[in-house]
Amino acid sequence: MKTDFKLRYQNSVLGYLWTLLRPLFLFAILYVVFVYILNTSGDVPHFGVYLLIGIVLWNYFVEVTTGSVGAIVGKGDLMRKVGFPRYVIVLAGSFAALINLAFNFVVIAIFMIASRTQVSPTIIFLPLLILELFIFALSIGFLLSALYVKFRDVNFIWEVGIQGAFFATPIMYGFKLVTSKRHGLLLAKLLLLNPMAQLMQDIRYMLVSPKTATISSIFHSEAARLIPVGIVLLVAVVSIRYFKRRSPHFAEDV
């Protein structure tokens, strides 16, 4: 894990600072575009922190999943020489991304203090949401890495899919913009079935404002939270089973 994290920033002038600068640069660009030009903040309280949380969580998801696609293929020579559990390759990249996420949450905390956001007492459940995010991203990473060994088109398909998912996830806009449209409530419900959307809104509820729309408030039921959690568990089971079934053949297939 530490080796993977160090190699990522080797020979870089700014080194580990890029873990903080990348989301901040993207945040600055999107904030100017969507607040001052397009005005899509939708009266979201502390929209700057709201947007930054979305960017940080999404960057983590992208870093884990896209980094996992070619992870097994990239270690083909090593697998043929050394015997070790294949899941370690994907897991190492995921933990390196988790370190980045921890650094980025320090930046979020600074923005929260500067914006005087209203932290909810439910913040005690934040580690559970981070765990859900970790499991979801890692599970998709396992599936993509195993599929890529056999089907090299997976890389291109995922690149397109992740771009579409970016706009289908409430990273840059508030839910008032969604619910104000025709059939907006139905659309909001569909969006929040996406585990990434559910996670972002729940974390924003904890860290930004209790006025943040969550899957519980949109569905008017706490039980609705079980749907995206169930999706995460289903993806985890399917991905791990497929990875375990394919892993004995990785060395010969890559």
Question: Which residue range(s) make up the domain with 60?
Answer: 2-253
Give the number of domains in the chain: 1
Q: Helix axis angle, 47-69 relative to 18-31, nearest 10°?
A: 130
Dump pLDDT digits (tens) for 60-116: 999 999 999 988 888 877 777 777 788 888 998 888 889 889 988 988 888 888 888
Q: What is the pLDDT of residue 142?
A: 95
Dump pLDDT digits (tens) for 23-63: 677 677 766 665 655 555 556 778 888 888 998 999 999 99
- Name the burial class of residue 180, with classes exposed (0-12), middle (13-18) and buried (19+) by CB atoms within 10 angstroms of its CB: exposed
Q: 2 pLDDT band (50/70/90 cuts)?
A: very low
Percent of the chain with pLDDT over 90: 42
Residue 176 reports pLDDT greater than 90: no
